[in-house]
A and B are shown apart, each in its own frame.
Chain A
Amino acid sequence: MSTITEIEAGIGTAESLDPRAAISVRGLRKTYGSFEAVSGVDFDIQPGEIVAFLGPNGAGKTTTVEILEGYRERTAGAVRVLGEDPATAPLLWRDRIGVVLQDSEIEPDLTARECVELYAGYHLHPRPVMETLELVGLTAKAGTRGSQLSGGQRRRLDVALALIGDPELVFLDEPTTGFDPSARRQAWDVIDGLRALGKTIFLTTHYMDEAERLADRIMVIARGAIVAEGSPATLAGRDTRPATVSFHLPEGVPVGALPDFLAEALTDDDGLIRFRTPEPLRDVGRLSRWADERGVDFPDLEVKRPNLEDIYLELTVEDSADR
């Protein structure tokens, strides 16, 4: 049934794939029994791009990534990764791809250096071992066994293993989950290093600040479908959305005394006035003149643009409510 529908709609066919893209996906679907984990996803990722794939747990993130990596078979749709279909790609295709899995541990009884040497042996043209350890900031830990490394160090070793084959494309599935803030910043520096090397990076993450800091482009997946796509600054119209202005009224000034254009404003129990406006400068100016005339001030006045997290929560609100 679904196949016929797709052919009629002209999606999910190999002809519509972008031949120049590092990753090209059309009409991707994956069902487990009656559950549809991914229900018709289309996107292209160009060489050299860093794309963040955001979504709540169970939204289809890891399923999509693992189909692209060749770990899972898709139910329907067309997929090309570096020009090959991951489901049928030859072994050497894997030489051009680096993978950091969501949860994989490090070989506990090998040192960091030996671990990288083991994986270097798997590849045709490996990067130099010590140079790769340096790239992820593990030079000082080269002789330390996997079981003795901290969580952040293990994750960086994971990244080193993904890079040792000098891949064109790197998949990072939640690379910093469980990190403390300083380990997260170190990991970001590593990914910045990959950008400098010109790698294409497909990153999944839960963290908005991570996506904002690292990605050229963000895709948000919810309930198996992409619900928004754009640069961190413009995602889901973030740049044109109304700003929120908030302030407390000084004592003795009743809410009713506020100018008319604030009739729609919300008032909290503790007297916090909040209103949304597409023209924050104009409205704050009017408010300022009104306050001047009465000789009052709003020392806690705040003008806030919607941040990425607000946008994300709004896009995925139904998913969160289910859980």
Chain B
Amino acid sequence: MGLVWHQFSFELRAFLRNRQARFFTVFLPILFLVIFVGVFGNHTIRLPSGARIKQSTYYIPALTALGIISAAFTNLVIAVVTQRESGILKRRRAAPIPAYVLILGRALVAVLLALFMTALMMGIGSIAYGATVPSHTIPGVAATAIVGALTFCSAGFAVSTFIRHADAAQPIVQITLLPLYFISGVFVAQSQIPSWLGNVASVFPVRHLSAALVHAYDPSTTGAGFSWSDLGVMGIWCVACLVVAIWRFSWSPRGS
């Protein structure tokens, strides 16, 4: 475990130094939050439970999902593809350490960044927009953030195996995610999405992450705020992506 920590600390340092990674991972979700709340924040929307809330309150959990995804998925895919294609992974593989040290070190950065983004987005929601998570659903929020981070981290390792060039990683990931953000209740409230599109979105984990976080913010939610069906679907994605990632993972460049 000491080695995992060693790997984690250097990976984290490299992330903090990289301006582009910082922008896409930390500032872009905040930017989306400010813009969407600014444009649509005063509308009132109806939640699946029937409760009515201000759209600004809705956007805090919905865009927290985006923050988690950008940290655990987008940033991870770009980092892994870049390191693989530039031969960095291959060289590290020459070292006398088990493969899991290198993988876990990077995964840990993704998961901790995702949890940091959760806290940051919710903190901004509470301070700037008065949208506070009910104290009794905090366990649900925490569990959802952790399951979401692990799921998208696993998905990130899986997707990274399909991208052959470092330059392609950023556009491929963004083009895949943008439509999902629109149909999964991240940019547009779930109640405003036609049901057939909602059904399509239900296949993918983005909708389940945002729905589970919105559930925890729903004032009519009782109990600890766990949305078990959403967590279950994410769990299935997490395991499936892990299988694909382990099956297809490569230390050597794929592009050449």
Are A and B interaction partners?
Answer: yes
For B31, list chain A residues within 8 Å (CB): none
Query: Contact partner of B96 among A94, A106, A114, A158, CB < 8 A?
Result: A94
7 closest A-B pairs by beta carbon, nearest first, are A104-B87, A122-B95, A105-B86, A94-B96, A109-B14, A95-B96, A99-B94
Check A121/B3 contact, CB under 8 A, given A107-B14, A109-B17, A161-B91. Answer: yes
- Docked complex Cα distance between A79 and B27 (Å): 53
CB A167 to nearest CB in B, in angstroms, measures 10
| Residue A257 CB within 8 A of the other chain | no
| Residue B97 CB within 8 A of the other chain | yes
CB pair A101 B91 closer than 8 Å: yes
CB pair A110 B14 closer than 8 Å: yes
CB pair B96 A119 closer than 8 Å: no
CB pair B88 A165 closer than 8 Å: no
CB pair B87 A105 closer than 8 Å: yes
| Residue A103 CB within 8 A of the other chain | yes
A interface vs B, CB < 8 Å? Answer: 69, 71, 91-95, 97, 99, 101, 103-110, 114, 117-119, 121-124, 145, 158, 161, 165
For A103, list chain B residues within 8 Å (CB): 87
B1-39 residues at the A interface, CB under 8 angstroms: 3, 6-7, 10, 13-15, 17-18
Check A105/B88 contact, CB under 8 A, given A94-B94, A118-B10. Answer: yes
For B7, list chain A residues within 8 Å (CB): 118, 121
- Docked complex Cα distance between A93 and B90 (Å): 17
CB pair B86 A123 closer than 8 Å: no
CB A97 to nearest CB in B, in angstroms, measures 7
CB pair B6 A121 closer than 8 Å: yes
The contact string, 1 if C-beta is below 8 Å from chain A, for chain B 68-106, is: 000000000000000000111011111111100000000
CB A83 to nearest CB in B, in angstroms, measures 15
Chain A: CB-nearest residue to B14: A109
CB pair A122 B96 closer than 8 Å: yes
CB pair B13 A114 closer than 8 Å: yes
